[in-house]
Amino acid sequence: MLLKGKKAIPSDRKQQESEYREMVNRIKPKPPLLRNILGAFVIGGAICTLGQALINFYLSFGLDKTGAGAAASATLIFLAALLTGLGIYDSIAKYAGAGTIVPITGFANSIVAPALEYRREGMVFGVGQKMFTLAGPVLIFGFVTAWIAGLIAYILK
């Protein structure tokens, strides 16, 4: 008998589970790894290239590096939110996977998509409550980490 948690599992059941896992592994579809990797690389690279082009564009208007970076980030967030609202961003994400999730555009999408999904429930209990379902923990972690780092820097000075 095999102990699993607090219950004893008979050996024949263990054999059945093993056979079932083998059967599932044989028939489940294999993910197209090369296509997924290339899609993430190409689309993620295109987003980053667009970000750099935007930085260069804003630098040409006389902004300093910090200002140009902030303006480029805001532009990328706006474009991601717009494309999410039009339903285009999710189509791109189907092919790009992590290429669209990792950059700042993925964060914008994670805020806009739930807001659009729950807008029928109203502005407060729909959009307001669900908008930060995915992004909320990320924001809180960032705020708390920044606060702790600032506190440590203040104490050490």
104-155 pLDDT tens trace: 888 888 878 777 776 677 666 666 666 667 667 777 788 899 999 999 999 9
Q: Which of 105, 127, 128 is nearest to 116 (CA)?
A: 127
Cα separation, 24 vs 91, in Å, equals 29
Q: Long-range contacts made by residues 70-73, C-beta under 8 angstroms, separation at least 24? A: 73/104
Stated pTM of the model: 0.66
Cα separation, 149 vs 42, in Å, equals 35
pLDDT for residue 124: 65
Highest mean pLDDT: which range of 28-37, 72-81, 93-102:
72-81
Q: Which of 93, 127, 133, 144 is nearest to 110 (CA)?
A: 133
